[in-house]
Amino acid sequence: MKSMADAYMRVVCTKASDALAPLPGYEWVFSNGTGGFLTAINPKAGPTANPPSFTRLVNAPLSAADVAAFRQRLAPVAKDPAILTAEVLRLEVDTSSGDHKQEYFLIAHNAAGAITGEWGIECYNDCNPMESSPWAFTVTTAGK
């Protein structure tokens, strides 16, 4: 069985830091309309002398209660109602700069099981409080 990280992302190295990137053929389109990656840089901390790297990437399954609580926090900022019924996957991430954050992937399926939508959001503190974050994105086929 593929891990969440293998199924939905890859780790790439950039000049600025390590980054999580979509698989080839896909792109992550953020709320400001641009495509991009999720870096190991803490946007609130600014640049560091050494480029930050990922020190831990671990699948972190959610209990039914955790999923319900996450959806409740997400409801006020969700722009697509399908997000609130999507399957929720979580990846725990630690960085060399001491950050601990979570990457959530939300996968919507139709009755036949086909994927009908994919979204992601990067959070600190398990998205508590949930913010209308620039780190939320939609997974699309590249070039669409």
Structural domain count, the chain: 1
pLDDT in tens, 86-133: 999 999 999 998 889 999 999 999 999 888 999 999 888 778 777 655
pLDDT in tens, 47-80: 667 788 999 999 999 999 999 999 998 898 888 8
Domain extent at residue 117:
4-141
pTM here is 0.87
Question: What is the C-alpha separation between 24 and 92, in angstroms, rounded?
Answer: 22
Contact at 8 Å (CB) between 122 and 135? yes
23 to 4, 11, 141, 142: CA distances (angstroms): 12, 9, 10, 10
